[in-house]
Amino acid sequence: MKQGLDFLTILRRHFPVFIAAFFLALFSLAISQILLLEVHPPSLDDYGIYMMLGSCGMSLYLCAANLLVIRGRPWAVWLIVAAMAACILVVIGHWGRRAPDLLYSISLLLPLATLLTLNSKRYRTMLTAMVEVRGQRAAWRERHRKTRQR
């Protein structure tokens, strides 16, 4: 493991690509929710409840997936990819119904841009660095556990 590898150094270097992927995914999920509520409108009394619950659920899901990525779990990227695939399926399944074409175009471009960001070299480098930091944390905990047992 590299000696100068720590969480803050990695975050300074890779924060822009991480936050870009996070916000692209968040905007993609939000526009897909708007598209769903535009195509299948609930009653006017329930619209706010659906919007709030959907937004909270999507935010919690995306934050949990990105927290797992930060903690060094590279499989958590597949949670984000699954959400983007769901967004693409929502757009393709409802193309040309009630919403304007610009909304469909934007809601198709955002998940594709998110997937492109997740597949970038810098994001993959960040993932490998986070896995190394996770290994360092585990080794540190193991050393501390042994010193406490003595």
Q: Is the pLDDT of residue 2 over 80?
A: no
Instruction: Count the domains in the chain.
Output: 1
The pLDDT of residue 44 is 81
Does some domain include residue 143? yes
Q: Is residue 2 part of a domain?
A: no
* Domain membership flag for residue 44: yes
Does residue 10 carry a pLDDT above 80? no
Domain contains 1:
no
pLDDT score of 124 more than 60: yes
| Mean pLDDT lowest among 72-81, 99-108, 117-126 | 99-108
Measured in whole angstroms, the distance separating CA 108 from the mean position of its chain's CA atoms is 16
Question: What is the value of pTM for the model shown?
Answer: 0.85
Domain region containing 119: 7-149
> What average pLDDT does the structure give for the chain?
88
Tell me, what's the pLDDT at 27?
95
